[in-house]
Chain A
Amino acid sequence: MDRQPATEARPAPSLRAEGISAGYGAVPVIRDISIAVGPSEIVAIIGPNGAGKSTLLKSLVGILRVTSGRVMLGEDEVTNRPPEELARRGVGYVPQVNDIFEPLSVLENLEMGGYLLPSNRIRPGVERVTQIFPALAALLKRRADKLSGGERKMLAIGRVLMLDPKVMILDEPTANLSPKLADSLLREHVTRLAAAGKAVLLVEQRARAAMQVAQWICVLVSGSTRLEGRPNDLLRRQDFEELFLGAGTRNPVNDKQEEADEDT
């Protein structure tokens, strides 16, 4: 692992993983990973397909068993606590797929996002979320599986916002979105979450876009942290692309699709 010296202090972590390993069978998919995210900070995990990015997030939120290391939420250890407990303690998780309750209406999805709230705080919660995502306000009665890709992701994030979590964990929120929508989601909404004081940890395939919004980048390759640091420091490194290219599968920094879209 290769660390960059920090030029200015990062916030005290809201959520941090200390040397965690996790996987599906006997062989761990991620090994000895440490990562932290603090209030008002956006930390992006980038890396090639199959690097273990989603696995890392799932092990942080209690869906996947951590086999070694520990997960800390503030001062409390929450390693392998069940997902419902992490939700109660202020960790919001938006999976990459299966991120909404498809047969339920938009309103019901939000109500379920606010399941832990007392009943008199559900309606204010829905109002707050529809202020953040005005597009959802007109769709409350619609079945969630009838939404467009962008609306769906707004609902997925809105569902999590119902509990007003301290930590937001987003697994590739821009996957399946048009480049334009992806860009606005990252620049407007994700940035706004951090501005509101939330600790935002996200996995992002579009490395360039991630580097524009994140304050800290963690490059994951083959289940280990290859590199981490501030985006500018990383980009300045001679060997950055090489480290990425060494990963093999594709080169997310020079994603052709993304380049083409940014030119227009």
Chain B
Amino acid sequence: MSLFVAAFGFGLVSMSVIALAAVGFTMQFGITNMINLAYGEVMIASAYVAYYIDQTGISIWVAMIGGAIFGAVFSFLINRFIYAPFMRKGTANLGMVIVSLAVSLMIANLLLPIVGYYSVSYRERFGSIVRLGSVVLTVNQMLIIALAVVVMLAIHALLRYTRLGKAMRATAANPTLARSSGIPTQRVIDIVWLITGALCGLAGTVAGLDSETFAIASGAGFLITALAAAVLGGAGQPYGAMVGAVVIGMVTELSAAAWSPDYKQVVAFGILVVVMVLRPQGLLAKRGALAAAG
């Protein structure tokens, strides 16, 4: 039994990491209509930026801010100089997916000569241990959970209560009408890329910290897990991505305890396939954060 309680603790950490990644990914799709397959590589690139800052001896939490800033600026630039020009030319959605795949390969291969093949780790991987009953977590893991909770609440507050957040939802729902209402949709979309890019950078650093070691090859796994959580919850819906992250994070860790850690990914995608068969629109397709309450 205590094995499952411990797994529950790891589940909390996993879902936090996945939620940070999946919410940014799903908002990019929901608001800018872009399925950004380069998301995982931007996560990794940001994780490396944080790694180099970490190497100077500064706290990993400061390095994480560096990773988030890098992710924000990098994502903004990718959209400005690659995605947006293609979209202006009227490239179809499938074409945009291929463009993002190309960007993903370019990032990975540009990164390779700089960072090398080998796995790296942040200096401070564990921190001291905290016991809550049978749940044993490191201080870093506790901080990751707290960070995810704070970020999710902040995203909720942004979308629900601020003028900018409502303009984002209006732009997502009906971009032409948004412009006719005087909303500068181009600027709104720029800000969406900055915010989701920051989430992506933060998620990359947190994922690197949580997985203890990471390498360029980790990007694909990051992307696929974020994608699974986003689709599970209902593509484009931030609350859906949060729910998807909870389900995938928790079930994979519990299954690892019950069965074998080797099958985590199999279990995650097993859930995804079952949900897609029973509810193809995703768990929260109708009632996400981009929608109104009630």
A86: B residues at CB distance < 8 A: 180
Identify which of B180, B181, B292 contacts A103 (C-beta below 8 A): B292
A108: B residues at CB distance < 8 A: 166, 169-170, 292
A160: B residues at CB distance < 8 A: 181
Chain B nearest CB, measured from A205 CB (Å): 21
Identify which of B166, B170, B176, B290 contacts A83 (C-beta below 8 A): B176
B267 located at the interface, meaning its Cβ lies under 8 Å from any Cβ of chain A in the complex: no
Asked, given contacts A101-B169, A104-B166, whether A112 binds B292 with beta carbons under 8 Å apart, the answer is no
Known: A101-B169, A103-B169. 11 other contacts (CB 8 A): A83-B180, A100-B177, A101-B174, A101-B177, A103-B172, A104-B291, A105-B292, A108-B169, A115-B167, A115-B183, A141-B294
A230: B residues at CB distance < 8 A: none
A29 located at the interface, meaning its Cβ lies under 8 Å from any Cβ of chain B in the complex: no
Sorted nearest first, the 9 A-B pairs with minimum C-beta distance are: A87-B182, A105-B292, A103-B291, A83-B179, A116-B182, A101-B173, A112-B170, A83-B180, A143-B292
Identify which of B177, B182, B185 contacts A163 (C-beta below 8 A): B182
Identify which of A102, A115, A142, A143 contacts B181 (C-beta below 8 A): A115
Q: Please name the residue on chain B nearest to A95 by beta carbon.
A: B177
Asked, given contacts A102-B173, A103-B173, whether A112 binds B178 with beta carbons under 8 Å apart, the answer is yes
A151 located at the interface, meaning its Cβ lies under 8 Å from any Cβ of chain B in the complex: no
Identify which of A98, A115, A142 contacts B182 (C-beta below 8 A): A115
CA–CA, A87 and B179, complex, Å: 8
CA–CA, A133 and B292, complex, Å: 21
Identify which of B167, B177, B181 contacts A98 (C-beta below 8 A): B177
CA–CA, A237 and B10, complex, Å: 82
B residues near A (Cβ < 8 Å) are 163, 166-167, 169-170, 172-174, 176-185, 290-294
A63: B residues at CB distance < 8 A: 176, 179-180
Flag A88-131 by CB within 8 Å of B: 1 or 0 each.
Answer: 10000101001111111100100111011001000000000000
Q: Please name the residue on chain B nearest to A169 by beta carbon.
A: B180
CA–CA, A105 and B172, complex, Å: 14
- Which A60-93 residues have a C-beta within 8 angstroms of B? 61, 63, 82-84, 86-88, 93
CA–CA, A88 and B181, complex, Å: 8
Asked if B291 and A143 make an inter-chain contact with CB atoms under 8 angstroms apart, the answer reads yes
Asked if B170 and A101 make an inter-chain contact with CB atoms under 8 angstroms apart, the answer reads yes
CA–CA, A115 and B188, complex, Å: 12
Asked if A84 and B184 make an inter-chain contact with CB atoms under 8 angstroms apart, the answer reads yes
Chain A nearest CB, measured from B23 CB (Å): 17
Chain B nearest CB, measured from A129 CB (Å): 13
Q: Please name the residue on chain A nearest to B183 by beta carbon.
A: A115
B182: A residues at CB distance < 8 A: 84, 87-88, 115-116, 163
B179, B181, B184, B294 pick with most chain A CB within 10 angstroms: B181
Asked, given contacts A101-B170, A112-B166, whether A144 binds B176 with beta carbons under 8 Å apart, the answer is no
Asked if B169 and A142 make an inter-chain contact with CB atoms under 8 angstroms apart, the answer reads no
A residues near B (Cβ < 8 Å) are 61, 63, 82-84, 86-88, 93, 95, 98-105, 108, 111-113, 115-116, 119, 141-144, 159-160, 163
Asked, given contacts A105-B292, A116-B182, A143-B291, whether A111 binds B177 with beta carbons under 8 Å apart, the answer is no
Q: Show 26 residue pairs from A and B whose CB-CB distance is below 8 angstroms, ordered by the A residue.
A: A63-B176, A63-B180, A83-B176, A84-B179, A84-B181, A87-B179, A93-B180, A95-B176, A95-B180, A98-B174, A101-B173, A103-B290, A103-B292, A104-B166, A104-B169, A105-B293, A112-B166, A112-B178, A112-B183, A113-B181, A116-B182, A141-B294, A142-B292, A142-B294, A160-B181, A163-B182
Asked, given contacts A103-B173, A112-B167, A115-B167, whether A144 binds B292 with beta carbons under 8 Å apart, the answer is yes
Q: Please name the residue on chain A nearest to B173 by beta carbon.
A: A101
Asked if A87 and B290 make an inter-chain contact with CB atoms under 8 angstroms apart, the answer reads no
CA–CA, A141 and B292, complex, Å: 8
CA–CA, A115 and B185, complex, Å: 12
CA–CA, A138 and B58, complex, Å: 56
B184: A residues at CB distance < 8 A: 84
Chain B nearest CB, measured from A240 CB (Å): 34
CA–CA, A119 and B174, complex, Å: 22
CA–CA, A160 and B179, complex, Å: 12
CA–CA, A168 and B170, complex, Å: 21
Chain B nearest CB, measured from A203 CB (Å): 16
B292: A residues at CB distance < 8 A: 103-105, 108, 142-144
Asked if B294 and A84 make an inter-chain contact with CB atoms under 8 angstroms apart, the answer reads no
CA–CA, A125 and B180, complex, Å: 18
B294: A residues at CB distance < 8 A: 105, 141-143
CA–CA, A205 and B180, complex, Å: 23
Asked, given contacts A103-B290, A141-B294, whether A111 binds B180 with beta carbons under 8 Å apart, the answer is no
Chain B nearest CB, measured from A220 CB (Å): 22
Asked if B177 and A104 make an inter-chain contact with CB atoms under 8 angstroms apart, the answer reads no
